[in-house]
Structure 1
Amino acid sequence: MSTRTRRTRMFAAAALAAAALTLTACEDGKGVVDEGASTGSASTSASQDSGTSSSEESGGTSTGAGESDPGTGGAAGSGGTTGSKGSSGSTGSSGSTGSSGSTGSKGAEPTSTRCSTTATRTTATEVSRPLNHLLLTVTNTGSKNCDLIGYPAVRFSEAQSVPPAFEDSKPQAVVTLAPGESGYASVLLSAVDGSGSGGYTAKSLAVYFDKGASAAAHPSLPGKGVHVDDSIRVSYWQSTMADALAW
């Protein structure tokens, strides 16, 4: 067989093979599949799909520190998805209104008043010690406290003036008598050594509880009366008998 004849047969065989391949593709309704290209393309597609899915699920990988979003208060990751908005700060509650101060209570009523002759009992007792002394006792017979202020103003019989007080006998506080309590004052009637002048015997006595009093108590004196001269003095009101008789 000549070389030319062999070439002719090879071309004929190749043409028949190509025709058969074309016929098979037409019968299946598909084009020719290049398996090498298909495998590469499918791998690339799968890789792209996987990358897209990973990116969507993770929200993007941040390549830098998140920056605060001044408009929303949220933080946006650099290169990633925008962070969720920060929750709005709650509005501070307004301060409670201060309660108004309570109205000041009215001043309490006085717990005591000056002692008066209508709510007391007054006695005058001649004592043996000290000599020539008379003890005045005022007892509160009322239901409220009362005050004995200063010293008593006494008048014996028809005397025109009241005797002065021993200033050193002034107590540190006013003598207050609760119901049933007593206050005391002493009266020096005459000089012990007889040096006094203008002496007389007094048979009656008026006792004003202080120099401003308008009403007087009239305690009884001993039947024989008491001797009085110009040495007469009185003590301030005291809370005890002993303090009163110290003068």
Structure 2
Amino acid sequence: MRNHRKNTVLAAAAIAALSLGLTACGGGDGATGAKDAGSAGSAQVTVGTGDSATATAAGGTADQTATKNGSGSTDGSTSGGSTAGGSTGGSTGGSKAGSTSGSTSGGKSSAEAPACAYGDIKVTAAKADEVPTEHIVLTATNTSGRSCTLLQYPLIAFGPIQTAKDVPAVAKSKPAAPIVLKAGEPAYANVRIALGGVHEDNKVVNEFNVNLFAAEGPAEGSIVVKAPAGGIAVDEAAAKTGYWTYELRNGADEF
């Protein structure tokens, strides 16, 4: 009986030892397999980053590789985003073109210069270089500080305004367009005052009045003009005036 128990104990011990040996061998294979699997996974990731086809063949994740290589979001935002075709180029070009065309077209339109009033103009008189004196030259200078239009011809009265004879204008001296004077600029009119020589109807004039035209006719107010030194001998029956011009012209202003 004692021998049988002893044999039984030895048999049990032998079986236990055999089980432990098998477990140790199995554990070694499992660790090696896990290590190999980890290495293979690592290799797949490394290969996959360089070549998606190789990663797929090796069992790697092709989706991860494609996402990394494709860079869809990065490339798309750079080439098709706001920088290439969006707000920067569009707003700059549009606003620049719009402001340029607007300011250019707006600058072309300007109001016409108003008619010169008697307070805008200074008129002086000088004798023509001739003996005896038959003509004087009137110079009208814009003293208003702004542009104004000098219309028609000077309305001259060689005596009291209420009774003086109107001095008619010579049609051939009329310019093609109204005379627009900038601030400080002059205009001229040639005036015949007599036919020369001594005449019983001549009268000595030391000063006279000049009126201007407005758009609708003679303007209100008059300019008192001093005659050249020594006065001028005026024959009202022979007196004529030219139109205002930028400069006196041979032929047109000779009468």
Residue 59 of structure 2 aligns with which residue? 80
Residue 12 of structure 1 aligns with which residue? none
Unaligned runs of 5+ in 2: none
Question: Per-residue deviation at 1:227?
Answer: 2.7
TM-score (norm 1): 0.52
| Structure 1 or 2: more helix by fraction | 2
Q: 1:47-86 to 2 correspondence within 5 Å?
A: 49-59=31-41, 66=52, 77-82=56-61, 83-84=63-64, 86=67
Structure 2 CA distance for partners of 1:152 and 1:61, relative to 1, 3 Å: same
Taking the aligned partners of 2:188 and 2:115, their CA distance within structure 1 comes to 15
Structure 2 CA distance for partners of 1:224 and 1:32, relative to 1, 3 Å: closer
Taking the aligned partners of 1:80 and 1:175, their CA distance within structure 2 comes to 93
Identity of aligned pairs, percent? 21
Taking the aligned partners of 2:145 and 2:16, their CA distance within structure 1 comes to 133
- Residue identity opposite 1:116 in structure 2: A
Which has the greater radius of gyration? 1
Question: Per-residue deviation at 1:214?
Answer: 1.6
Mean Cα displacement is larger for which, 154-163 or 91-100? 91-100
Question: Per-residue deviation at 1:48?
Answer: 6.2
Residue 233 of structure 2 aligns with which residue? 225
TM-score (norm 2): 0.51
Residue 244 of structure 2 aligns with which residue? 236
| Counterpart check, 1:201 vs 2:181 | no
Taking the aligned partners of 1:206 and 1:162, their CA distance within structure 2 comes to 15
Structure 2 CA distance for partners of 1:177 and 1:26, relative to 1, 3 Å: closer
CA RMSD of aligned residues (A): 5.2
Taking the aligned partners of 2:244 and 2:120, their CA distance within structure 1 comes to 20
CA deviation profile, 1:7-51 (whole Å, cap 9, x unmatched): xxxxxxxxxxxx9xx9699178123989xxx79x94x87566434
Taking the aligned partners of 1:234 and 1:176, their CA distance within structure 2 comes to 18
Taking the aligned partners of 2:112 and 2:236, their CA distance within structure 1 comes to 38
SS, match of residue 170 in structure 1: coil
Question: Per-residue deviation at 1:136?
Answer: 1.0
- Residue identity opposite 2:179 in structure 1: V
Taking the aligned partners of 1:139 and 1:152, their CA distance within structure 2 comes to 13
The number of residue pairs the alignment matches comes to: 203
Aligned counterpart for 1:187 among listed residues 186, 191, 197: 191
Taking the aligned partners of 2:55 and 2:186, their CA distance within structure 1 comes to 94
Taking the aligned partners of 2:213 and 2:181, their CA distance within structure 1 comes to 14
Question: Per-residue deviation at 1:133?
Answer: 1.3
Q: Is the 8 A contact 2:147 2:181 kept in 1?
A: yes
Taking the aligned partners of 2:110 and 2:213, their CA distance within structure 1 comes to 23
Residue 121 of structure 1 aligns with which residue? 122
Structure 2 CA distance for partners of 1:66 and 1:151, relative to 1, 3 Å: same
Unaligned runs of 5+ in 1: 1-18, 68-74
